[in-house]
Amino acid sequence: MTPPPQLQAALSQLLGDARLIAEPLPGTELKLWLIDALNMDRAFSPEETRRILEEPPYWSFCWASGLALARFLAEHPHWVEGKRVLDFGAGSGVAGIAAMKAGALEVVACDLDPVAIASCKANAELNGVTLSYSADFFAEADRFDLILVADVLYDRANLPLLDQFLSRGKEALVADSRVRDFQHPAYERLGILEALTLPDLAEPWEFRRVSLYHAIR
């Protein structure tokens, strides 16, 4: 399969030899356009490292929290069946796509990055589903049944967003493997799921243990 030209061009600007491949996600029926693992198995030049750090192509990975949440929705479709869902910080769109596959009435993939939105569109097409798209969470009306959030809390500056998710949705499901001292009175931990980032970044084992939190207003 030929990678989407816009996404391949964006990736090539960061890593000249990098290519996207349609990769099946283990434990799911989904595929995503992901960076070829072979492109990660080499040393990066200082210039490549600088570009990756300044503009990380996070949409070209399936992060552990997103994969764990996608599996959870496939196994527990009642969370999204017939509901209006917003996938916050959608990245590749994996959580939103899984929600549509599990029977959601509507899914809005929301991300500030226009390349991430393009990635969500390409991945939705790859999986035969239709999503809606938004670049501004706070411009959305308070009309959603569920807000999905995966791998957004890696930056502790994003923790205040936990207070905002219930401003646009009746419930929130947050998947995270980074915050060790997660404490918020509105959120209850449902359990711990295991997953890894694809392509595999050889992350520490602790980052493969994904906590799932639920809040309801």
Domains defined for the chain, CATH in brackets: 5-60 (no CATH), 64-216 (3.40.50.150)
Q: pLDDT (tens digit, 9 = 90+) per residue, 12-55?
A: 988 888 899 999 999 999 999 999 988 777 667 787 777 776 77
pLDDT in the model for residue 173: 98
Which of 47, 41, 54, 56 minimizes the C-alpha distance to 11?
56
Question: E strands of 63-117, at which residues?
Answer: 84-88, 106-110
pLDDT in the model for residue 53: 66
pLDDT at 11 over 80: yes
Q: pLDDT (tens digit, 9 = 90+) per residue, 148-205?
A: 999 998 878 899 999 999 999 999 999 999 888 898 999 999 999 999 999 887 778 8
What is the rounded distance in angstroms from the CA atom of residue 189 to the CA atom of residue 182? 9
Strands 106-110 and 84-88: parallel
What is the rounded distance in angstroms from the CA atom of residue 181 to the CA atom of residue 126? 37
Distance of CA 64 to the CA centre of its chain: 9
pTM: 0.94
Q: Which residues pair with 133 in a beta bridge?
A: 109
What is the rounded distance in angstroms from the CA atom of residue 147 to the CA atom of residue 85? 6
DSSP secondary structure letter of residue 79: G
Helix H or strand E encompassing 94: helix 94-101
What is the rounded distance in angstroms from the CA atom of residue 113 to the CA atom of residue 96? 16
Average pLDDT of the chain, as a whole number: 93
pLDDT in the model for residue 90: 97
What is the rounded distance in angstroms from the CA atom of residue 144 to the CA atom of residue 57? 28
Percentage of residues in the chain having pLDDT higher than 70: 97
- Considering only residues 47 and 79, tell me which one the structure prediction assigns the higher pLDDT: 79
Q: Which residues pair with 209 in a beta bridge?
A: 194
pLDDT in the model for residue 2: 93
pLDDT in the model for residue 162: 95
CA angle 96, 99, 104 (to 5 degrees): 115
Distance of CA 14 to the CA centre of its chain: 20
